[in-house]
Structure 1
């Protein structure tokens, strides 16, 4: 059997429309006795998927080996279980789910880099940018940095082409992405690997 390409997916602002909700809830943090909105119990449970994310994942599920690689706030115990409940709601729970027993929650995402593959993450932080590595032949694709690389536009088709090439020619992720991208010329990530943060995120 041909080995599938590993694709790791961040959740917040990559699969889940998180940041707008957290920004609107900034003033509520005080009411809950916490410092930041991402520490409010239950706030990660009932969020909306990013447009096209569920369909895009389902499109990729047969082509690639999919994993969730996400960070949950350390001081919000419910966020860990809420994220798993969110995945179960939108993708099912059992062997037919693309993420069944393939969920990694870590504050340093590069700990999973040794397995090889692609990380799709909107931000460079928590080890995401370190996925852009020649040593491990891995790639970080910054979700939405190139406006064409979103779930409701060209990201699923691009990743499908990369996964198919990697499987058919036994290529590592970095080589497969570079080869396919010679045609499209996508900007895969910001050169300076930094971005503006909301005021509450810098506390």
Structure 2
């Protein structure tokens, strides 16, 4: 029997609606230079539309993991991200992310186990998940307007899991299902636009 494939989810702008909040913070009264350095700013951010329901559906077909980055100069962000996950998904063995959370500044370190990474940006090693040797793939959340939680991303990923059970190869399954549906999984890395404060 084929085991469940691994699906790694970034938090900011994938599960958590981060940029829309951080982009409008008035920094004039803050004691730090960037909004992502404000202590506690990551604790009460809202989830992306459809993200909570998506995780519940995907947990049936995938072994779910969190793979996220936290600002180096904001120590509370690391704790706040764990507290956010506990609030929305629990912190016991029933949580789909129980003891499956990796916070790192180099996401490429985790791709060796194989799997799919859903991340909105190519940075911090996300684009290095495009690796046939490790059967890993990066899907850029929102690059294709269909591949978001509120559209077709869950259906696409569940179709990939079904194809994987037949082929045993996750990357090829993901690419085949995307080609059939006409989805673009990621964009070019050299022209990605950052937020004005990044």
Q: TM-score range by the shorter chain?
A: over 0.9
Cα contact 1:124–1:193 (8 A) shared by 2: no
Alpha-carbon displacement from aligned partner over 1:139-165 (angstroms, at most 9, x marks no partner): 110001000000011000110111122
Alpha-carbon displacement from aligned partner over 1:76-103 (angstroms, at most 9, x marks no partner): 0100010000001111111111000000
Alpha-carbon displacement from aligned partner over 1:103-161 (angstroms, at most 9, x marks no partner): 00000101000010000000000000111112222111000100000001100011011
Aligned partner of 2:155 among 135, 154, 157:
157
Which position in structure 2 is the counterpart of 1:15? Answer: 15
Quote the RMSD (CA, aligned, Å): 1.3
Whether 2:88 is the aligned partner of 1:90: answer: yes
Q: Classify the secondary structure of the residue corresponding to 1:98.
A: coil
- TM-score after normalising by structure 1: 0.93
Which position in structure 2 is the counterpart of 1:75? Answer: 73
Q: How does 1:42-57 map to 2 (within 5 A)?
A: 42-57=40-55
Q: How many residues are aligned here?
A: 198
Which position in structure 1 is the counterpart of 2:140? Answer: 142
- Flag structure 2 segments of 5+ consecutive residues without an equivalent: none
Residues of 1 paired with 2:45 and 2:190: CA distance?
Answer: 27
- TM-score after normalising by structure 2: 0.95
Q: Classify the secondary structure of the residue corresponding to 1:3.
A: coil
Cα contact 2:122–2:189 (8 A) shared by 1: no
The alpha carbon displacement at 1:62 in A equals 1.2
Q: Could you list the structure 1 runs, at least 4 aligned residues long, displaced by more than 2 angstroms after superposition.
A: 191-194
